[in-house]
Amino acid sequence: MIRASGLTKSYKAVQALAGLDLAVPEGKVLALLGPNGAGKTTAVRCLTTLLKPDSGSATVAGIDVLADPAGARAKIGLSGQYAAVDEHLTGYENLVMVGRLYHLGKARAQARARELLERFDLTEAGDRPSKTYSGGMRRRLDLAGALVAEPPVLILDEPTTGLDVRSRQQMWDVIRELVASGATLLLTTQYLEEADRLADDIVVIDHGRAIAHGTADELKATTGGERIEVVLADVEDREAAVRTLAEVAVGDVRVSDNGRELSAAVSGRGAGHLLHVLQGFERDSVTVLDVGLRRPTLDDVFLSITGHAAEEAATTTGTDAPADTQEVAR
Amino acid sequence: MSTAVQALTDGWVVAQRNLIKIKRVPEVLVFVLISPIMFVLLFAFVFGGAIDPPGSVNYKEWLIAGIFAQTVVFGATFTGAGLAEDMQKGIIDRFRSLPMSGSAVLVGRTTSDVVYNILSLIIMALTGLLVGWRIREGIVDAILGFALLLLFAYAVSWVMAFVGMLVPSVEVINNASFIVIMPLTFVSNAFVPTESFDGVLRTIVEWNPVSTLTQSSRELFGNTGGFSPTDAWSMQNPVLYTLIWVAIILVVFAPLAVRQYRLTTSK
Ligand SMILES: Nc1ncnc2c1ncn2[C@@H]1O[C@H](COP(=O)(O)OP(=O)(O)OP(=O)(O)O)[C@@H](O)[C@H]1O
Ligand SMILES: [Mg+2]
């Protein structure tokens, strides 16, 4: 449904895209995961006809975005990184305007605007200028704008960045509903957790190219998945603690130099393993200062794929050749 | 839908959006309307006695058409500034992601600015009537006079739309338009009779479309005091000559502005 191959785009000094390939089958969700400056927004802008790539090609719903941009736009709902709403217009007026520019006709555009305000919990605020909206409300209004014409393909650039926990949860719910109703979706994010929750498939990008591709589980597997981390109150308990951790660990139990911080990679249901570990500690009277389950972050994935951390990667542009795309555990 | 029809219908939707802003930020309107009032009063009372227009007409009455012309031409600055502001706002990305006409943003802005000009003409006409200006030809001629002013202003706003696309910064636009429009209106017969210019300057004044626009308005409002214009063809046929300029400006600058819009937005 969405297909890009060999997209490149350079700005004066930076190569924002360096031959990006991706494909999203109909009805699926692809997350484009990458740190600041990886090229996510540039990729989104190329796919949505806002930017002409230097080379490469892309099709959306079978339409070549370079040859027929207007046709492609009719198939795409875009919600960009920064909310594209008119601040002087009310939420309602914003949506009606978008509907009319999609040529729905005035009556249809008005009905659709009310429908969407209702759906995005904006009915009450709908008749206020959007200037008065909170960041989360503006984001929702922007997404509503993308949905006005019920496009089969949705492209969302960092839909939850800057939102609080509750708004993020709401946004996730909305996105899940959209997918359930059959939309094909491409979203970008900086959070592995978000990609994990929403996407069927994840492409990790850095320096404008895909450096890894797989499901969330496959990617996490490259980092050893979730880890149980323990800080002991007393070094004396180390042996007992390591023994218990070893029962659930995948691979070795790591012990810090001071001998009090232990960590073990686990697979599958981390919470179950954690319970098992805690019961073992209770049995052996091991006292802990801290114990927890840590999910791998984008940083961990980065570290394991590229051998260096994301921030570091972002500042060494051009000095080290980007790693080749790696098909993870296929 | 044909592209032209689509440009107009989409442009109208964008124009409505711009007009809503007038409602929401009425302060803008206050400035749009106060400056013409100021112009009429300043020129009428400060220069009113200083300059002797040709013929039997009094200067105040003769001057009003010049102020009308100057004000609507200056109004084009709003087009450039409004567009420059739009280009910096997120909404442009929404417009660009819609299957709408590529020129709708420009058509919308130039159209909604006609409304500004209509309002400022009404205000100026009322102020003018208060200080002694009178329409001395038929009402049809007067309406044609206003229509010509609006038409010419519409054409000039496409020039500023182009400039607005070229340098998307409100401050630059304001200064740029001052630099261009100021001489255009002062080296014309808007405030000073053509006869008081000599040599090359006089030729420039005679062929300056702002002069012919002013001359047309004076004739259509009946404010010439029965005095005939100079011999230049442009001054003898001011309406036709002004219309030719309108056509040329639109044919050249509308496509240029649309092209520049595409270039600017696809960077
Ligand atoms: N208009 C531009 N002019 C110059 N450089 C640009 C421009 N747009 C993007 N870049 C550069 O291209 C690279 C990729 O930018 P892009 O916005 O695609 O990153 P991103 O993955 O969306 O980052 P973020 O998470 O911060 O939004 C960056 O190095 C950025 O500085
Ligand atoms: Mg971005």
Question: What single string gives the DSSP state of each residue in A107-120?
Answer: HHHHHHHHHHHHHT
Among A174, A197, A220, identify where a domain stops: A220
Counting ligands in written order, the one closest to the CA of A32 is: 1
Confidence of residue A107 (pLDDT cuts 50, 70, 90): very high
A51 lines ligand 1 (CB under 6 A): no
Q: Which of A297-311, B5-19, B224-238 is predicted with the least confidence, judged by mean pLDDT?
A: A297-311
Stretch A103-117: mean pLDDT, rounded?
Answer: 95
User: Does some domain include residue A323?
Assistant: no
In 3D space, the residue among A240, A307, A289, A300 whose CA is nearest the CA of residue A265 turns out to be A300
Report CA-CA distances (Å) from A245 to A32, A193, A227, A237, A259. 34, 25, 11, 12, 14
Same domain as A178, residue A75: yes
Whether residue A268 sits in one domain with residue A119 = no
Q: Is residue A198 domain-shared with residue A267, that is, in the same domain?
A: no
Is A111 an interface residue toward B (CB < 8 Å)? no
Q: What is the mean pLDDT of residues B135-140?
A: 88
In a shared domain, residues A164 and A19: yes
B264 touches chain A (CB under 8 A): no
| Host domain of residue A124 | 2-220
Q: CA-to-CA distance for B175 and A163, rounded, in angstroms?
A: 40
Nearest residue by C-alpha to atom 7 in ligand 1: A11
* Chain A residues closer than 8 Å to B99 by CB: 70-71, 73-74, 101-103
Query: Greater confidence, B59 or B94?
Result: B94
Residue A46 has pLDDT above 60, yes or no: yes
User: What does the block give as tokens for B87?
Assistant: 């280009």
Pocket flag, ligand 1, residue A39 (CB < 6 Å): yes
For B99, the closest of A74, A83, A88 (CB atoms) is A74
CA distances from A270 to A217, A292, A296, A297 (A): 13, 10, 12, 15
Residue A186's identity, in one-letter code, is L
Mean pLDDT of chain B: 89
> Under an 8 A CB cutoff, do A89 and B265 touch?
no
A329 within domain boundaries: no
Asked whether residue A216 falls in the same domain as residue A135, the answer is yes
Mean pLDDT computed over B222-236: 84
Q: Name the one residue in this structure whose structure tokens are 């008749």.
A: A127
Is residue B265 scored above 60 in pLDDT? yes
The CATH number given to whatever domain includes residue A67 is 3.40.50.300
> Quick one: A167 and A261 in the same domain?
no
Whether the CB-CB separation of A124 and A55 falls below 8 Å is answered with no
Pair (A173, A230) in one structural domain: no
Domain containing A247 — which CATH number? Answer: 3.30.70.980
Q: What is the largest CA-CA distance in chain B?
A: 60
- B186 in Cβ contact with B250 (< 8 Å): no
**Listed residues A156, A189, A220: the one ending a domain:** A220
Question: What pLDDT is attached to residue A309?
Answer: 58
Residue recorded with tokens 């702002």: B210
CA distances from A227 to A9, A123, A279 (A): 38, 44, 17
A50 and A90 share a domain? yes
Q: Do A50 and B96 touch (CB under 8 A)?
A: yes
The per-residue b/e assignment along B144-181, b for 16 or more CB within 10 angstroms, e otherwise, is bbbebbbbbbbbbbbbbbbbbbbebebebbeebbeebb
Which residues 6+ apart lie within 8 Å of A5 measured at CB? A21, A56, A57, A58
> Whose C-alpha lies nearest to ligand 1, atom 30?
A37
Flag whether A227 is in a domain. Answer: yes
> Do A164 and A237 lie in a common domain?
no
Instruction: Indicate whether A106 and A236 sit together in one domain.
Output: no
Q: For residues B259 and B91, is the Cβ–Cβ distance under 8 A? A: no
Whether A147 contacts A75, CB under 8 Å:
no
- Please tell me the total count of domains within chain A: 2
**pLDDT tens, B156-190?**
999 999 999 988 788 888 888 888 888 999 999 98
Residue B86 predicted with pLDDT over 80: yes
Alpha carbon distance A193, B145 (integer Å): 67
- Do A40 and A188 form a contact (C-beta atoms < 8 A)? yes
pLDDT band, very low/low/confident/very high, at A317 (cuts 50, 70, 90):
very low
Q: What's the domain count of chain B? A: 1
Instruction: Mark which of A204, A220, A236 sits at the end of a domain.
Output: A220
Answer for the pair B82, B170: CB distance below 8 angstroms, yes or no: no
Task: State whether residue A73 sits within 8 Å of chain B by CB.
Answer: yes
Identity of the residue in B91, B100, B265 whose CB atom sits nearest the CB atom of A84: B91
A168 pLDDT higher than 50: yes
Clarify whether residues A162 and A245 are in a common domain: no
More confident residue, A222 or B182: B182
Q: Tokens at residue A181, please?
A: 């109703």
Instruction: HSE, CB side, 13 Å, CA atoms: give it for residue B48.
Output: 15
> Are A74 and A89 within one domain?
yes
How many residues are given for chain B? 267
Out of A30-34, A281-285, B98-102, B122-126, pick the least confident: B98-102
Q: Which residue has the tokens 């496509």?
A: B255
**Domain around B206:** 3-265
**Is 0.90 topped by the overall pTM?**
no
Structure confidence at residue B55 (pLDDT): 63
* CA-based nearest residue in chain A for residue B21: A88
Query: What integer best gives the mean pLDDT of chain A?
Result: 86
Nearest to A243 by CA among A275, A281, A290: A281
A189 Cβ inside 6 Å of ligand 1: no
The proportion of chain B whose per-residue pLDDT surpasses 70, expressed as a percent, equals 95
pLDDT tens-digit series, residues B8-57? 999 999 999 999 988 898 888 887 788 888 888 888 788 766 666 666 66
Strands A209-214 vs A254-255: parallel, antiparallel or unpaired? unpaired
For residue B20, give the nearest of A48, A89, A103 by CB distance: A89
Cβ under 8 Å to A: B residues 220-239: none
Q: Is B98's CB within 8 Å of A98's CB?
A: yes
> What atom in ligand 1 is closest to the CA of residue A208?
14
- Residue A249 covered by a domain: yes
Asked whether residue A310 carries a pLDDT value surpassing 70, the answer given is no
Containing A42, the helix (H) or strand (E) segment is helix A40-47
